[in-house]
């Protein structure tokens, strides 16, 4: 079996534009919004959404980057610690609407870690979740507010998100585990 393409470059851009519109539609007061991208894929997508929102509305919403490593529930399980790359939030999130952004929503454990971390920074008015791909298999009661695409997958399959910020071309594929 070979890779199944979910998004190519054009498809990704169209979907991100739609997500930007949906986020703005849901949150009429743009000055209340801030975007928090989850490292690494979510951080790149958050940057793109920030500039798409700015193109559409001329408003630059605050953008932060979350590294959820220190909040993981599986530390010490692996052979060694994952590398920590740092969280960057240089604005006040109190009373803001925080939109978490990630590339792939799977078990929901990353989002749990992200929510815990956000709350250590203050008390946002609300937290929303935008993801590029929802692949199912949730292990926690977590539901996205904005979804690029629902992609039914088998548990052992992999969803690979390649973004040009990492040096390649924009492409999202589902890959059978055996070829990974």
Partner 1 sequence: MSGRVWKRKDLLGLKDLEAEEIELILDTAESFQEIGNRPIKKVPTLQGRTVVNLFFEPSTRTRISFELAEKRLSADTVNFSTDISSTIKGETVKDTAKNLEALQVSLVIMRHPSSGAPHRLARYLKCGVINAGDGINEHPTQALLDMFTVRQKKGKLKGVKVSFIGDILHSRVARSNIWGLTKLGAEVTVCGPRTLIPRDAEQLGVRVTTNLEEAVDGADVINLLRIQLERQKESFFPSIREYAITYQINRDVLKKAKPDVVIMHPGPVNRGIELSSDVVDGPYSIILDQVTNGLAVRMAVLYLLSGVKS
Binding site for partner 1 (CB under 8 A): 40, 67, 70-71, 75-76, 78-88, 116-117, 120-122, 166
CB of 138 to partner 1, least distance (A): 22
Nearer to partner 1, 2 or 80 (CB): 80
**Closest approach of Cβ 74 to partner 1, in Å?**
11
Shorter beta-carbon distance to partner 1: residue 85 or 125: 85
Of 16 and 93, the one with the shorter C-beta distance to partner 1 is 93
CA distance 72 to 31: 31
Of the candidates 144, 137, 90, which has an alpha carbon nearest to the alpha carbon of residue 114?
144
**Nearest CB to partner 1, comparing residues 77 and 141:** 77
Question: Starting from the edge strand earliest in sequence, which strands make up the sheet with 63-66, in order?
Answer: 63-66, 33-38, 97-105, 126-134, 146-150
- CB of 103: closest distance to partner 1 in angstroms? 13
Do the beta carbons of residue 42 and residue 171 sit within 8 Å?
A: no
Cβ-proximal residues to 144 (8 Å cutoff; 6+ apart), any chain: 105, 129, 130, 131, 134
């Amino acid at each position: 079996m070979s890779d199944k393409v979910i998004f190519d470059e054009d498809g990704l851009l169209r979907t991100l534009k739609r997500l930007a519109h949906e986020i703005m539609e849901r949150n009429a007061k743009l000055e209340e919004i801030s975007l928090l991208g989850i490292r690494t894929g979510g951080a790149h997508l958050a940057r793109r959404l920030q500039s798409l929102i700015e193109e559409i509305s001329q408003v630059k919403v605050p953008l932060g980057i979350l590294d959820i490593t220190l909040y993981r529930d599986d530390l010490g399980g692996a052979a060694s610690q994952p590398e920590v790359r740092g969280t960057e939030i240089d604005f006040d999130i109190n009373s803001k609407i925080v939109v978490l952004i990630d590339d792939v929503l799977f078990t929901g454990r990353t989002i749990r870690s992200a929510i815990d971390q956000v709350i250590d920074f203050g008390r946002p008015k609300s937290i929303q979740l935008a993801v590029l791909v929802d692949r199912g298999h949730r292990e926690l009661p977590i539901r996205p507010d904005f979804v690029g695409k629902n992609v039914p997958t088998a548990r052992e399959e992999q969803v690979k998100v390649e973004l040009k910020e990492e040096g390649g071309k924009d492409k999202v594929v589902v890959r059978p585990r055996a070829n990974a």
